[in-house]
Amino acid sequence: MEEGKDMPFEKLNKFEEAELEFDNRAFEVAEGICKHCGEKLMNVVENKSILDGAITFHIIKLRCLKCGKEYLDLDQAEKYDFLLTLNKAVESKKALSFLTRKIEE
């Protein structure tokens, strides 16, 4: 069967149902190869502080030492997104209600 083609219903019925379980670390990435240059990626911890150091985020990145590209796994990307949102709110002095809505999403 060619990729991108719809599968007939008869073939779909032949598949067995499977139940998969993933632990909470399934989406963490500990190592990898740079898509850009093919070099091995190194783990780097970047500390980002806001409110004059009152809050510090430890962002774990995978960095290519050859080309400098950086990659985040899903958990670290969400943490970094929250950091940027919080920093933007602090800089623009928005009300805490804005932040609580973002946290609830």
Q: Is 1 among the domain residues?
A: no
Q: What is the pLDDT of residues 25-66, one digit of tens each?
A: 666 677 888 988 889 999 999 999 888 888 899 999 999 999
The pLDDT of residue 1 is: 46
Q: Is 3 among the domain residues?
A: no
Provide the percentage of residues in the chain whose pLDDT is more than 70: 80
Q: Is 4 among the domain residues?
A: no
Q: Is 29 among the domain residues?
A: yes
**DSSP states of 15-73:** SPP------TTTT-----B-TTT-PBEEEEEEEEEETTTTEEEEEEEEEETTT--EE--
How many domains would you assign to the chain? 1
User: In which band, very low, low, confident or very high, does the pLDDT at 97 lie, cut at 50, 70 and 90?
Assistant: low
Range of the domain at 94: 9-104
Low-confidence winner among 1-5, 65-69, 99-103 (lowest mean pLDDT): 1-5
